[in-house]
Amino acid sequence: MAVEKEQCEEIGFVRYSGQNLVNGIIDAGSAGSALVGLDEAIRFFNRQQSPDFSNFQYDIPVQTRAGSWEAVILAGTAAVGGAFVLGYAKKAGEKLAENDFKDIGLKHALKKSVDALQYLAKLIKHTRRSRGWEQVRIEPTLGSETALVANNQGVELQIPVEYLRWYQQVPPRLLARMTSVIRTDRVLTIGVIKLGASEEVTIVEEEKFLFDQIQEDEFEEDFLFPELNHGAEAYIEGRLIRGSQASNSVGLEYMGHVINCVPAHGSIRQYKAALFLRCRVEGRVTRHAKSRFVTDRRPTIIVDRVIPLEADGQFGLFTD
């Protein structure tokens, strides 16, 4: 079947930039990881818009270009069955899932998916966690409803409620392939093109771990930090990277892992000034936070004292 040629427009991009990328040259492994990760993320958000995206073969067109290393996401001017969607073109003119697909075309879906992808990056940076957003309030608007998600400083980020619902289903490491390419001298920028202008969010190396978080004990087979025996006194140094008022706990990044820390007395709000700083945590180890009868593979610290080891304001280092 001949495929009619059509005009494409740029709707978004992922860009890796740094001193070593001025000529647009990047290693094949990094380029492959970035493109596969981008493809997986867009397909996930397409499926949130309509289950039909799970049932048909289609391609997501990108164009790479130099200057830095950039993959530009393209969308055709036609709706479902546009020429840029090679395996999908044969479905042109057919009605797809009356109630599910309805008037959604590929161009519309791709634009929305790229927008949702960028908002997810903003949300993870804002809250410093990849799932489990709890401090949310809904604000009615003239258009679609808006969710306001607060971080540990009480600052709120506006995102569409529809996107927030999708994020509840997001695999915890959905963006890990793209962020794995980030280096000390290589930053990732995710851009959305709206009305001819681009909106961008940048992720640097110090934020990379936020996008590769796993659930506690997920994929974990070994007994973590065996030297931290149940009941022993703990004096460890690391960075407080997250807090949850719902569980009244904070996470301490320590030797490549996150240790859950619970105050011996009071609320985690007492540690608010120490969040995102390198600290010395003093307390007692428990290996029975989940069960009296089964020893936890990952220790929990019952915290008596948190001592910041750097001045407040160091959070600025994350964006330099």
User: Domain boundaries in the chain?
Assistant: 8-212, 233-319
List per-residue pLDDT tens for the chain, 320 residues long: 333 434 678 999 999 998 878 777 888 999 999 999 999 999 999 988 887 777 667 778 888 887 789 999 988 643 333 333 333 333 333 433 333 344 456 788 899 999 999 999 999 999 998 877 766 777 766 566 788 888 888 899 999 989 988 998 888 789 999 999 999 889 999 999 988 889 999 999 999 989 986 544 444 446 789 899 999 999 999 988 777 777 788 889 888 788 999 999 998 889 888 887 889 999 999 998 876 666 888 899 999 999 999 775 433 322 22
Q: Look at residue 297 in the predicted model and tell me its pLDDT.
A: 86
- Contact, 57 vs 102, CB < 8 A? no
Q: Look at residue 135 in the predicted model and tell me its pLDDT.
A: 66
Report how far Cα 149 is from the mean position of its chain's Cα atoms.
15
Q: Look at residue 273 in the predicted model and tell me its pLDDT.
A: 85
Tokens representing 280? 């010395």
Separation between Cα atoms, residue 153 and residue 166, nearest integer Å: 25
CATH number for the region 233-319 comes to 2.40.50.140
Bridge-based pairing state of the strands 69-76 and 62-65:
antiparallel
* Claim: this prediction has a pTM higher than 0.85: no
Backbone angles phi, psi at 219, to 5 degrees: 60, 15
